[in-house]
A = this chain, B = another copy of it.
Amino acid sequence: MSDTLADRLAAYASVASDLNVDAVALVPGPNFTRTVQHNFMSHERPFVLVIPAQGAAAALVPNLELGSWDLIGFDGAVFDWRDQDGYAAAFDAMMRHLSIKSLGVEGQIMRVFVHHALKAAQPDLTIIDAEREISALRMIKTDADIAAMQAAIDISERALARTFDSVKLGQTEKDIEQVLIQSVFAEGADDLAFAPIVAAGDNSARPHAKARADYKVQSGDALLIDFGVRKDGFCSDITRTVFLVHASDEARAVYDTVLRANLAGLDATRAGVTAHKIDDAATSVLEASPFRDRIRTKTGHGLGREVHEAPYIMRGNHMTLPAGTVYTNEPGLYEIGKFGVRIEDDVLVTEDGYRTLTTFTKELTVLSC
């Protein structure tokens, strides 16, 4: 299948047509990077690629990026601007050139200052949130995408094994986090995909906990590690929860429940099922347990160039998952003030079922420390 810049731009033009808007806009982020095959930064500088339903694309480019922009082979109009001059005139010129009345944008990525700059240049422009439709183009992963994700996952699993092997009672969560981070880069990661979660004891009950410098891990603690890395533009995202020295009967029962929910979610996975159905399969296991009041999250989210992307695996999301989707299956149970357990796999949807890209053991593990 042909996959040139022109092909990718044409696909966004079709999105605009389908949405009945005159154009869609991309800003630096996962869709932009996928489209131009170059990772641009934006920070305080607006940088916008506009793809009309009909006609050639146009781009508003910070002047200092022109040397990099020249690499991507874009043949549309370019409106560049220098820091010293500001960007208002470039927006004015681009919007006059485009002559559009409506624009679909990436609501989860575009920031308000760009929205305002577009409206300042053209007050009658209708801006709609087309995040779902724009980002849908990267939901089905190519073989190259999956290879990059597998590389990221393999790095993560080697780093996780090194980290668990090194845990000693009396270390702080921060100490363990440092081992994890150094292991991740020693194993070849390009970057962290997000700030790692290394949480023991009561902190493991916070789904997005921060590692504490003042809490030393103790015998009997749950130790939850949730992290991901980037490799060649793609993310991994894995969680494992282990117990230190011993696991109480309650901990074992909670762990078993979460594991059964994870497996039920996997069992429900195949091309053509809805996100709703996978969440329902996993969450129903949690709800049927004595721990149902500890449910705090949906089952998972899509994974790719972003660590959280479509499809969101939750009840009420009746989007069907095509083969090639990768999602996280991460049910958990969290008792605030006590402990939490989460088990997270990265799952590739296939025609006849699924393949878990993560292979790290999910058997209940008690570290001897």
Q: Which residues of A contact B (CB under 8 A)?
A: 38-41, 43-44, 63-68, 70, 83-84, 86, 105-113, 115-116, 127, 129, 131, 178, 181-182, 184-186, 188, 190-192, 194-195, 205-210, 279, 296-298, 301, 307-309, 312, 314-316, 334, 336
Nearest neighbor of A188 in chain B, beta-carbon distance: B178
Interface contact A307-B43, CB-CB below 8 Å: yes
Interface contact B195-A39, CB-CB below 8 Å: yes
Contacting residue for A108 out of B44, B127, B314, CB 8 A: B44
Contacts of A67 in B (CB 8 A): 205-207, 209, 296, 334, 336
Contacting residue for A129 out of B110, B116, B208, CB 8 A: B116
Q: Given contacts A44-B312, A67-B206, A110-B111, list 20 more A-B pairs with CB under 8 A.
A: A41-B194, A43-B308, A44-B301, A64-B207, A67-B205, A68-B210, A83-B298, A84-B298, A86-B316, A106-B112, A107-B112, A110-B112, A112-B115, A116-B129, A178-B188, A181-B185, A181-B190, A182-B185, A185-B185, A192-B192
What are 18 A-B pairs with beta-carbon distances under 8 A?
A38-B210, A43-B308, A44-B312, A65-B208, A67-B336, A68-B206, A68-B210, A83-B312, A83-B314, A106-B112, A107-B111, A107-B113, A107-B116, A110-B111, A111-B111, A112-B129, A113-B131, A192-B192
Q: CA A105 – CA B111 in complex, angstroms?
A: 11
Nearest neighbor of A43 in chain B, beta-carbon distance: B308
Contacts of A209 in B (CB 8 A): 67-68
Q: CA A70 – CA B296 in complex, angstroms?
A: 15
Contacts of A38 in B (CB 8 A): 210
Nearest neighbor of A301 in chain B, beta-carbon distance: B44
Nearest neighbor of A340 in chain B, beta-carbon distance: B67
Q: CA A209 – CA B70 in complex, angstroms?
A: 12
